[in-house]
Chain A
C-alpha cells in the first residue's frame, strides 16, 4: 500500500505527457518515415497510459481498459500496414527519407 500512495495519477500523467511530447517532436522533426511512425506509436502509447490511469484512479469502470485494448490492436494493425507501405516506398524510391520522396508537388 505504501507504493500505491506514493505513485499517484499525476505520475502517470507526467509520463504520458512526456511520451506525447516526445512523439509529437519526433513526428515534426524526423525525416525518416520509420522514425515518424515511431513517434506516432509514442503518441498512441501516451494515450493508452492515460486511459488506464484514469480508469484505475478515477474508478471509471472498464471503458478505459477496453479502449486501451482496442488501441493496442489498432496500433499493431497500423504498424503492419505502415511497414508494408514503407517497404513499397523503398522499392520505388530506394529511400525512406520523406524529403526526397517528392514526385507530387504543386
Chain B
C-alpha cells in the first residue's frame, strides 16, 4: 500500500522553501520570512495530522513491521559483480513512539524560532536559507532509520549552524561558532566509526541473500549480527563496549554532558535568539534521541552494564549545571547552564532502565525543549530592548512589564518543576524511575539536590530582574508586542496542558518505551 509520504514531505518541505528563498530577489525580505514561517507552520500541521493518525499500540524500536509512516526505498545499491562486499543504503524513514514526540517538538520549536527571526535584518536571504537547511537536518535526524541517512542529516546541521552563529551572532561569535563546529565534529567522527563498524557486523535479507545493512531497526535485533563481526555478541573479542562509548561520546557532546559541555554556554550566549531557541529546543534533544535510538536499542547488553555511569554523569550534569548557573552574571548564560542541569535529568531518567524513567527522560526532553525555548525568548525580549543581559543591571521590571513578567513566572516555575506545570511531571517521572533502580538510588537522592538549586537560581534571578526597586535606566521599556505574544502564548499553553494532562505524550511513547525496556531486560548480561 502506497500511503501518503508524510515524512518525506515534513523533512524536505524546508528544502523547497530554501530553493524558493534563494530564487527570490534580495529585496523581497518580507516574503522570505513568510515562506520560512509558512514552511514551519506546514510542518506543524503535518505533525498534527500524523499525531492524529498515529497508532499508539505499535512499538517500533526493533520491530520493523510495527513502524508507522514508513517510506523505504533502495537509495544506493552497488552490487557490481565483484568479490568485494556490496554496499546497500536505503532511504528509510519511519516513526515510532520514540521519534513521534521529537518530531512534534521539532516542528513547534522551529515555528516559534521562525517567528522570532522576524527582526533579523542582516543578509536576510542567507539567514533564512540556512535556517531552512538546518530545519531539514533536524527533522531528518528524527525520522531517518537508516544509519547512513541519519548520519547525513546529523552532519547537515553543522554548517548552517556554524554560519547562523558565526554571522548573525554576538560579539564573540566566531569563537563560539568554530567551537561548536569542532566539538560536534569531534563527536560525529566517533559516530561515523561506530556506524561503519556496525554496518560491517549486521546483515539483513535482501533478494534472498544476506547483505550488510545500515538499517537501525535491523541492528536493534541481535539476530541480525554476523557470527564474527567486530560488534557481534557472538564474537568473543567483540568491541561492543568500545563502540558504545564512542557513540555515547558523540551523542553526549550534543546533549551536552559534562565534561563535553563547554561549547554550549559560548554558543548560546553568542547565538541570536531564534538560534538559541533551536539549539536548546531541538539540537540538544538530538543527543538524547541518539542515545536512546542507537546506544540503547542496538547495545542493550552494554547499556545494562554501564547505566550506573550514565546516572553518575547525569548527576554531575544536574549539580554542576545548577551551581554554574548560580554563578552567572549574564542572563543567557544562566539559562544555558540551567539547560545543562536539566539535560542531566534526561540522562538520569534513561539510566533508570525502566518504563517510568525512560518515559520521564523523553518527556523531560520535550518539556525542556518548550520551557527553555521560552526562557530564551524571554531573554531575547529584554535583550532586544536593553541590548544587555547583565543580571544586575535590571530590577523591578514587573511593574513596567506586567504581562511579560507573567509569562516569565510561568516559565520559571515550569523550569523549577512546580506541580501543575509540565516540568514537574517529567522530573518526578525521572526521579520515580531512577529511585526504583536499586544501584543508582544514592545518585538519585543526591540529584534531587538539583531541584533545590534550580529553585534557588531561578527565584534569585526572578528577584534580581523582575522584583525589587525599578531601575530608571529602562523607563522607556514597552510591554510585549503582538509578535512576542504570538511566540510565548503557544509555549505557555503547552506547558500548562502537559502539566495537567501528560498522558497526551506518555500514551504516544508508552508502547515503544516498554519495548525498549523489554529489549534491555532480555539481552544477555555481559
* A–B touching in complex (CB under 8 Å): no
Residues on A facing B (Cβ under 8 Å): none
Binding site for A on B (CB under 8 A): none
